[in-house]
Amino acid sequence: MFALAREGKATAGQPAGDAAHDGGSLNDVYAAEIQRLVALGTVLSGDNAAGEDLAHDAFLQLVQRVQREPDYLRGPAWPLLRTMVVRLALQRRRAWARELRRLARAWQPTPSESWEPSVGVLDWHAALQSLPPRMRATVVLFYGEDLSTAQTAAALGCSPRTVEIQLRAARRRLATRMQWSDSQEAER
């Protein structure tokens, strides 16, 4: 993939097999190091595609540098490539953070996005505490922990039908306590 004019030539005093890590064949360096670089890039970026981009960008930088200075890659390639990937990842993270700060300064919420909670919403914790313990546990497991009816029933040791009845009763009690209208209750 990456070729250099000196490909395959060994330098004086070195066997031909060591030429790959002495700037001789970037194809060999690429084949030997790409998997480790992609893995490192993935760990640094948190994304496989971004890790591949980092690894390939590091190789492109290496090729450009070797073309300008043919003796640039004298020793093992891994430490140099590892450093290049780390630096690229830091540069990208800093650029991303700068862009987020710029966007945060420029963004102003529209008036429709502002939200003032009603007293009833602020009193949600008290309303939940007013439910009987078993009903409160059902509500917390179903809505808070996002368990299915069957999973909630298994956790509480009851039937799924009992969970449905408990949830219906809890919704009625909470709607009364929170003073929700019928349209608000239908949304929930």
How does pLDDT run across 162-179, given as a tens digit for each residue? 999 999 999 998 888 777
Confirm if 41 and 50 have CB atoms less than 8 A apart: yes
> What pTM does this model have?
0.45
Give 18's pLDDT tier (boundaries 50, 70, 90). Answer: very low
- What pLDDT score does 144 carry? 81
Q: Which fold has domain 119-187?
A: Arc Repressor Mutant, subunit A (1.10.10)
Q: What is the per-residue pLDDT across 95-125, written as a single tens digit (0 to 9) for each?
A: 999 998 888 888 776 666 666 666 655 667 7
For the chain, give every domain's residue range: 16-106, 119-187
Task: Give the model confidence (pLDDT) of 51-90 as tens digits.
Answer: 999 999 999 999 998 888 888 888 888 888 999 999 999 9
DSSP the chain: ----TTTTPPPTTS-GGGGGGGTS-HHHHHHHHHHHHHHHHHHHHS-HHHHHHHHHHHHHHHHHHHHH-TTS--S-HHHHHHHHHHHHHHHHHHHHHHHHHHHHHH----GGG-----HHHHTHHHHHHTS-HHHHHHHIIIIIS---HHHHHHHHTS-HHHHHHHHHHHHHHHHHHHT--HHHHHH-
